[in-house]
Structure 1
Amino acid sequence: MHTEIERIAADTPGTSYELVVHRYGGGDPDAPAAYLQAGLHGNERPGVAALHYLMPMLATAEAEGRLVGAVTVVPQANPIAAGQHVLADHLGRFSLSTRVNFNRDYPMPDADGAVPLDAAEAPVFAERRLKSRLLELSDGHRIVLDLHCDDEALQYLYVADELWPALSDLSVCLRADAVIRWHATPDAAFEEAVFARMLQQAGPELGQAGYCVSTVELRGQGDVSPYLARQDADGLYRFLVLRGVIEDDVEPLEELAASHRALPIDHVDVLHAPAGGTLLFHVRPGDLVRSGELLAEILVRPGELGGAVALRAPQDGLVLSRRMRRFIRIGDDVLKLFGDNRSAHAKTGALDN
C-alpha cells in the first residue's frame, strides 16, 4: 500500500485541508481496478468505519499476491465537511461557504465530451477543486463506489438504469433491502459525473462490460458499530472478489439471499411535514405499509384536542428511511416510502436537497 497526503488550499491565506489517498497495487494492469470513497457528506460515518475494516483485508491480499486489480481508497473524502462544526453541531452535508450540497454540481461532460475540471491552483472555492480532484482520482477505475448513509434507514443503493440488473451482485453482497434505479437528472452528483464518463468510455452496454458505479447508502447515521462495519467490509470484499479484483474463496453468490426491491426512482414518495412540531413515528424503516396507514404524527399543540397532525401513506410500499431529528419545521422531509407504484408527486432530480 502506498499512502499519499494531498494538500487542498482553503479559501483564505494560511489554511488548507488534507486529503488522504491509499493505493493498493494490483498484479495485472488489465484487471478491473476499483475506487472506494466515504465521508463525502462529513457527518455520514458508516462508510468510513467499513473502509477501516476493509483496508487491512486489501493489504493482506496485496502482500500475498492475491490483489489482481489496483484499488484506490479515500476513507475520508471530504476534509472540508469533516471540519464544519458550528456550536458543537456537525454540519457535514452542505458547504458553509457556498450553501451547496457536497454531493451536487460535479463537473459533467460538455457538448464535445470534455470534462471541465478545476485545477488545484484554480481561483475557485476549495470545494470545487475538491470535487474535481475526486473525479480525477476515480477516473480509470472500472468499479467506483461512493459510500453514504441516510438519517435512519434500510441498506439501499442508487444504480443507473443502464447498470441494472448487472449490479445485482453488489446488492446481494451488501445485503441491500432496496435498489433505487435512476435516470439522468440535473443534479450532477458524484455518481452521475462518474457514470457519464464511464458511458463515454464503454457506451450503453457498460454494465455488461463490467463497469460499476453506485451510491451505497449504509443504513442510517447512527448505525456505526464494529459489527456493522465488519459486515459491510465483508460485503465489499466479497464483491471485489466476484468482480475479479481480488483472488480468494468466498461464499457463492447464489447461496446469498437476494432480498432487494429494485424499482425506478419515481416510485419513491418523499413525505414532507404539513406542519411544524414534535415528530412521533408510528412506523420504522423496513415496515410494509398500506395506503392510508398512519405513518407519523406531528404535535403542533401538545395536549390539545386536535393538536396533532397525521401523516398517512399515499400508497402501499416499504418504509425506506425516516428523519433522525424529532423536532421539525413545516416542509421538512419526514420519511421516504418506496412505493409499489409510481409516486403521484414524482419529479425530476434528486430525492433530497
Structure 2
Amino acid sequence: MDISEITIEGDTPGIAWRLPVFHFKGDDSRAPTVYIQAALHAGELPGTALVHFLCERLRRAEAEGAIAGSLTIVPHANPIGLAQSHFGELQGRFDLGSRANFNRDFPLIPLEKRDTLLADLGRFSATDRLKRKLLHMALGAELVLDLHCDDESLQYAYIDTVFWPEAADLASALSMDAVLLSDGESSAFEEAVGYAWKHEGGGERRTSLPGRLSTTLELRGTREVYPEMAAADAEGLFRFLVARGIVRAVSEPLPAFARPAAPLDNIEMIRAPEAGTVLFHRDIGDRVEAGERLATIVTRPGFPEGAIEVWAPQAGLIVTRVSSRFARRRGDLMKIACDLPSSASRKPGTLED
C-alpha cells in the first residue's frame, strides 16, 4: 500500500487541510479499477470505520500477491467539514462559508474533459477545489463507491438505473435492506461520475454502462459505528471486490438480491404538517400499510386538540427516520420505499438537500 497526500490550501491565511489517499496497485491490467471514499459529509463515520477494516484486509491480500485491480481509497474525504463545529456540534454536511452541501454542485463534464477539473484551481474556493480533486480521482476508476450514512436508517444504496440490475451483486454482498433507484439527474458526487461516463465522447446519452458502477452507499445511521459492524461491512465489500475480480480469493457465490429495489418516484417522503414534538409509532425496518399511524406531532402541549396524527399514504418499508424529536413545519420525518409511485410530485434529482 502506498500513501499520498493532497493539500487543500484554505481561503484565509495560515489554513490548509491534508487529505491522505491510499493506493493498492493491481497486477492485472484487465481487472477493474476501484475508487472508494468515505465521509464526504464529514460527520458520517460508518464508512470511515468500514474503510479502516477494509484496508487491513487489503494489506493482507497485497502481501499474498492477490490484488488484481488497482484501488484508490480516501478514508475521510472532507477535512474541511471535519473542522467545522458550532457550539460543540460537528457541522459536516454544509460548508459554513458558502452554505453549499459538500455532496452537491460537483462539475458535470464528459469523461474526456477530466483533466480540466484541475486547471486554474486558484480561481475556486477551497471547498470547490476539494470537490474537483475528489472527482478527478474518481474518474480514473471504473467502480466508484461513495460511503455515506443516513440519520436513523436501514442499510441501503442509491444506484442509478443505468447500473441496475448489474449492481445487484454489490447490494447482495453488503446485505442491503433496500436499493433506491435514482435517475442520475443531480450534481451529487456519484451522479457527477455517472454523468461523465454517460456523456463520454459526445453523441447520445448512454443508457447502459456495463462493467462500470457509481453509487452512494448509506451505511445505516450516524450512530451505527461499532467495530463488529464495521468489520462485517468491510468483509461484505471485500466479497464484492472478489466477485468483480479486483481481488483474487476463494469466496462463495453471492446470493441473488431479493430485497426491495424502488425507483425514487416510489419513495414516500413523510413530512411534518406542523411544527412540534414528534412521537413515533413506527420504526425503521417496519412494513406499514396504507392508513397506518406513523407519528403523532404535539403541536401545542397541554392544550385540547393540541396534537395531530401522521398517516402512511401507502404500504411500504420504512427505510429512514430522523433522530430529532422536534420537527419544523414540513421537516422530513421518514422515507418509505413503496411498490407504487407516490402521489406527491418530485423534481428530478435527490430526495433531500
Distance 1:191 1:131 in 2: 12
Distance 1:93 1:205 in 2: 31
Matches within 5 A, 1:106-255: 106-109=106-109, 114=113, 116-119=116-119, 121-185=121-185, 187-201=186-200, 204=206, 206-208=208-210, 210-254=211-255
Structure 2 counterpart of 1:289, which letter? V
Structure 1 residue 301: Cα displacement: 1.8
Distance 1:249 1:120 in 2: 47
8 Å CA contact retained: 2:319, 2:337: yes
Matches within 5 A, 1:12-31: 12-31=12-31
Distance 1:268 1:282 in 2: 19
Aligned residues: 348
Deviations 1:225-250 (A, max 9, x none): 01110111011100000000000011
Distance 1:223 1:184 in 2: 28
Q: Say yes or no: does 1:332 pair with 2:331.
A: yes
8 Å CA contact retained: 2:184, 2:195: no
For structure 2, list consecutive stretches of 5 or more residues without a partner in the other structure. none
Structure 1 residue 140: Cα displacement: 2.0
Structure 2 counterpart of 1:20, which letter? P
Quote the residue 1:80 is aligned against: 80
Matches within 5 A, 1:271-310: 271-310=270-309
Distance 1:296 1:277 in 2: 11
Q: Say yes or no: does 1:6 pair with 2:6.
A: yes
| RMSD of aligned alpha carbons | 1.7
Structure 1 residue 340: Cα displacement: 1.8
8 Å CA contact retained: 1:177, 1:259: no
8 Å CA contact retained: 1:146, 1:216: yes
8 Å CA contact retained: 1:154, 1:285: yes
Structure 1 residue 330: Cα displacement: 1.1
Distance 1:322 1:287 in 2: 11
Matches within 5 A, 1:85-96: 85-96=85-96
Deviations 1:166-193 (A, max 9, x none): 00000000101111111132x3100111
Structure 1 residue 63: Cα displacement: 1.4
TM-score calculated relative to the size of structure 1: 0.94
Relative distance call for 1:349 and 1:294 in structure 2 (3 A) is: same
Deviations 1:57-108 (A, max 9, x none): 1111111100001011001001011111111011111110111111101000
Structure 1 residue 32: Cα displacement: 0.6
Structure 1 residue 205: Cα displacement: 6.4
Structure 1 residue 306: Cα displacement: 1.5
Secondary structure of the corresponding residue to residue 37 of structure 2: strand
For structure 1, list consecutive stretches of 5 or more residues without a partner in the other structure. none
Quote the residue 1:315 is aligned against: 314
Q: Say yes or no: does 1:343 pair with 2:342.
A: yes
Secondary structure of the corresponding residue to residue 123 of structure 2: coil
Secondary structure of the corresponding residue to residue 109 of structure 1: coil
8 Å CA contact retained: 1:147, 1:217: yes
8 Å CA contact retained: 1:82, 1:92: yes
Deviations 1:148-206 (A, max 9, x none): 01100111111111111000000000101111111132x31001111112224597365
8 Å CA contact retained: 2:94, 2:101: yes
Distance 2:50 2:305 in 1: 46
Secondary structure of the corresponding residue to residue 93 of structure 1: coil
Structure 1 counterpart of 2:206, which letter? P
Structure 1 counterpart of 2:247, which letter? I
Structure 1 residue 300: Cα displacement: 1.4
8 Å CA contact retained: 1:167, 1:207: no
Secondary structure of the corresponding residue to residue 218 of structure 1: strand
What is the percentage of aligned positions where both structures have the same residue?
42
8 Å CA contact retained: 1:295, 1:311: yes
Distance 2:76 2:120 in 1: 18
8 Å CA contact retained: 1:291, 1:316: yes
Q: Say yes or no: does 1:269 pair with 2:268.
A: yes
